[in-house]
Amino acid sequence: MMEVIRESFATMQLDETDRRILNALQRNGQLSNGGLSELVNLSPSACHRRVQRLEKEGVIRDYVALLDARKLGVATTVFVEITLQGQADEVLEAFEKAVARIPDVLECHLMAGTADYLLKVVAENTEDFARIHRQHLARLPGVAQMQSSFALRTVCRTTALPIT
């Protein structure tokens, strides 16, 4: 079943109008259908049908508000590399369930390479990260080694995927 889903997304054909719709919505998810239809040069009804199709097919997954971390007091970004004690399914599953419950972890990626997982964590400052580490990260199951790197400055950031 999963292979069928992957194949359908991999072979899904997006035309130039679909790409313009997706690029516009990635820049401004609050666009009205009328505003979007003007931007992509389609009638409102045709534009609405295309957006509905892209949503139904899962190309458009969600609409969200992107928040300013500094204004919300979580301006410190820390990347945490985690190596587990083993690779058994039970170890991976227990770790993934536990890490998903930590609200300060924005992303968790299973990796190939030296670390098993890479986490993106936000904190108020270094003291707050020490609290997060002590209360949450140090208690994660199956961890053999952990290395934290503090981001000094964000050079570029986007949530927009390249649409080709």
**pLDDT exceeding 90 applies to what percent of the chain?**
91
CATH number at residue 118: 3.30.70.920
Tally the C-alpha atoms within 13 A of residue 28's C-alpha that lie toward its C-beta: 9
pLDDT bin (cut points 50, 70, 90) of residue 10 is low
For residues 41 and 84, membership in a common domain is answered with no
For residues 62 and 88, membership in a common domain is answered with no
For residues 50 and 85, membership in a common domain is answered with no
The strand ranges marked E within 7-116 are 76-84, 105-110
Last residue of a domain, one of 23, 39, 66: 66
CB 69 within 8 A of CB 128: no
CATH number at residue 26: 1.10.10.10
pLDDT in tens, 79-116: 999 999 999 999 999 999 999 999 999 999 999 999 99
CB 70 within 8 A of CB 144: no
pLDDT in tens, 11-47: 578 999 999 999 999 999 999 999 999 999 999 999 9
Tokens found for residue 93: 């599953």
Q: Residue 90 and residue 81: Cα distance in Å, rounded? A: 20
Tokens found for residue 46: 């045709």
Residue 5 lies in a domain: no
For residues 42 and 89, membership in a common domain is answered with no
pLDDT at 8 over 60: no
Last residue of a domain, one of 66, 88, 105: 66
Number of domains in the chain: 2
Residue 3 lies in a domain: no
Query: Which residue segment(s) compose the domain that 99 sits in?
Result: 76-150
pLDDT bin (cut points 50, 70, 90) of residue 164 is confident
pLDDT in tens, 43-72: 999 999 999 999 999 999 999 999 999 999
Residue 7 lies in a domain: no
- 148 beta partners: 80
User: Computed from CA positions of residues 76, 81, 84, 90, in that sequence, does the dihedral angle turn out positive or negative?
Assistant: positive
Residue 126 lies in a domain: yes
Tally the C-alpha atoms within 13 A of residue 37's C-alpha that lie toward its C-beta: 12
